[in-house]
C-alpha cells in the first residue's frame, strides 16, 4: 500500500516547513523539506509553536492550526492552495463566541 505523506514541523520555533514523500512498508521516502510560504515570504510563527495540518473548513485542502506557547492562543492559517502546494495569506485566532480560544501554556 502506498500513501502520500505530508510532514509539517516548526523549525527553531519560528519558521514552518513541510516534507512530502511516499510512505512504504519498509521506510518513508521523503523529498527535501521546503519552507511553507505566506504572503511572499516564509511563514513565521512564535517560538515553541506546535503546527497541525487539518482540513478546518472542509474544502479538501489541509489548513494549518498553530498552537502558541505565549498566552496559549491558536492561530488558523487557511490554505487557498493544495496539500502539496499550499498557499497561505494571513491568519486569524480560533474563536468561540467572538473570543479567542486559549489553551494552558507554560
- CA 2 vs CA 26, 28, 31, 83: distances in Å: 11, 10, 15, 17
What CA–CA distance (Å, rounded) separates 63 from 65?
Answer: 7
Q: Note the pLDDT tens digit of each residue in 9-67.
A: 555 556 776 766 666 667 667 777 778 888 888 888 877 778 888 999 999 999 999 88
> pTM of the prediction?
0.78
Q: Note the pLDDT tens digit of each residue in 61-86.
A: 999 998 887 788 899 999 999 887 88
Can you spell out the DSSP letters for 48-68? T-EEEEE-TTSSSS-EEEEE-
Residues 88 and 64 sit within 8 Å (Cβ to Cβ): yes
Amino acid at each position: 500500500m502506498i500513501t502520500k505523506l505530508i510532514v509539517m514541523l516548526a523549525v527553531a520555533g519560528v519558521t514552518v516547513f513541510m516534507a512530502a514523500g511516499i510512505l512504504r512498508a519498509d521506510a518513508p521516502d521523503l523529498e527535501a523539506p521546503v519552507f511553507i510560504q505566506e504572503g511572499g515570504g516564509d511563514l513565521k510563527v512564535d517560538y515553541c509553536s506546535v503546527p497541525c495540518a487539518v482540513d478546518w473548513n472542509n474544502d479538501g485542502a489541509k489548513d494549518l492550526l498553530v498552537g502558541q506557547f505565549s498566552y496559549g492562543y491558536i492561530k488558523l492559517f487557511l490554505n487557498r492552495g493544495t496539500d502539496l502546494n499550499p498557499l497561505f495569506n494571513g491568519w486569524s485566532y480560533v474563536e468561540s463566541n467572538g473570543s479567542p480560544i486559549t489553551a494552558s501554556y507554560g
